[in-house]
Amino acid sequence: MTEPKTAEEKKKETRFEREVELAAPIEEVWKALTDAKELARWFPLQARVTPGVGGKIFLSWGPGCEGESEIVTWEPPRRLAGKDQFAFVEWTLESRGGKTILRLVQSAFLSGADWEQEWYDSTSYGWGFMLLSLQVALERHRGVPRQVAWPRVKVSDSREEAYRKLLSGGALFAQDLGAALRPGENYSVATPEGQPYSGRVEFVRENRGFCLSVQELNGALLWLTIEGVPGSIEVQVWLSAFGLEPARVEEFGRSWEQRLQTVFAN
């Protein structure tokens, strides 16, 4: 007689893999992954690192959004791996032609629950932005501290409806964004107040969000993401800026938070 499967046995492995080429020496990329100050230039708002196998990497985006992983592989400057209660994450680095090839593999065992699927979708989408942030920090703003604005608002809409509202003309921008968001191409739009935004559409994920580089903000990255399970959706705008006046970043946070509240007022 076959024994019934336990909850752990019913879980299936999910894997996310990504590779990026960075115009930076392998030692600098390793430092960006393992030095607390460098991590805060592209990944969390704050970090703490205890190096070596058995050490810890603590990442924080503020209360309620932080966590710690245990280092299980530490081979400078080639290989780093860590695990937490949800996932195993491995980084491998390779020098090639004066550049560094960085490979990320994230694996986890999931049961198929809605919150687990949302966690996987959110992290796989988020890694796309974080790896782009790493590339921008190393290649375009090397050695410059990052500045962050992070306005966000909880909404009662579905993910699809929230995305539709955000792209509509008069919401975030005066123009309807449907035709403007072409990944890898240049864009030129204006806010409802007439402030110009131009640059490159870095990526788009329908019903999840998009990322733009903004020439008028010194090449900052403007990332929009819609997070959460149905009934608990939050719309977030994240600005990664370098070399801007602090007052300008603060003003961005205030104005975009007001903009989100206006879009989802009803």
Do 31 and 100 reside in the same domain of the chain? yes
**Residue 5 banded pLDDT, cuts 50, 70, 90:** very low
Do 33 and 107 reside in the same domain of the chain? yes
- Please indicate, yes or no, if residue 5 is contained in any of the structural domains: no
Residue indicated by tokens 């890694």: 127
Q: What is the four-CA torsion angle of 185, 21, 31, 237, rounded to 10 degrees?
A: 20
Identify the domain containing residue 38 by its residue range: 12-139
Q: Are 148 and 44 in contact (CB under 8 A)?
A: no
Q: Are 260 and 153 in contact (CB under 8 A)?
A: yes
What confidence tens digit (pLDDT) does each residue in 218-266 have? Answer: 999 999 999 998 889 999 999 999 999 999 999 999 999 999 999 999 6
pLDDT for 3 equals 45
Do 215 and 234 reside in the same domain of the chain? yes
Query: What is the longest distance spanned by two Cα atoms in the chain?
Result: 71
- Please compute the mean of the pLDDT values over residues 117-144 and round it to a whole number: 92
Do 128 and 24 reside in the same domain of the chain? yes
- For the chain, the domain total comes to 2
What confidence tens digit (pLDDT) does each residue in 115-129 have? Answer: 788 888 888 899 999
Comparison of pLDDT for 71 and 5, the residue scoring more:
71
What confidence tens digit (pLDDT) does each residue in 165-216 have? Answer: 999 999 999 999 988 899 999 999 999 999 999 999 999 999 999 999 999 9
| pLDDT above 70: residue 10 | no
- Please indicate, yes or no, if residue 3 is contained in any of the structural domains: no
Could you give the residue ranges of the DSSP H alpha helices within 4-80? 7-10, 26-34, 36-39
- Domain end: 139, 168, 201, which one? 139
- Please indicate, yes or no, if residue 177 is contained in any of the structural domains: yes
What confidence tens digit (pLDDT) does each residue in 16-27 have? Answer: 999 999 999 999
- Please indicate, yes or no, if residue 1 is contained in any of the structural domains: no
Q: What share of the chain is helix, strand, coil (3-state, %, to 5)?
A: 25, 40, 35
- Please indicate, yes or no, if residue 2 is contained in any of the structural domains: no
* CATH number of the structural domain spanning residue 218: 3.30.530.20
- Please indicate, yes or no, if residue 178 is contained in any of the structural domains: yes
- Please indicate, yes or no, if residue 6 is contained in any of the structural domains: no
- Domain end: 112, 139, 166, which one? 139
- Between CA 76 and CA 226 the distance in angstroms is 36
- Please compute the mean of the pLDDT values over residues 48-57 and round it to a whole number: 98
- Domain end: 122, 139, 156, which one? 139
Question: Is the whole model's pTM more than 0.85, yes or no?
Answer: yes
| pLDDT above 60: residue 7 | no
- Please indicate, yes or no, if residue 106 is contained in any of the structural domains: yes
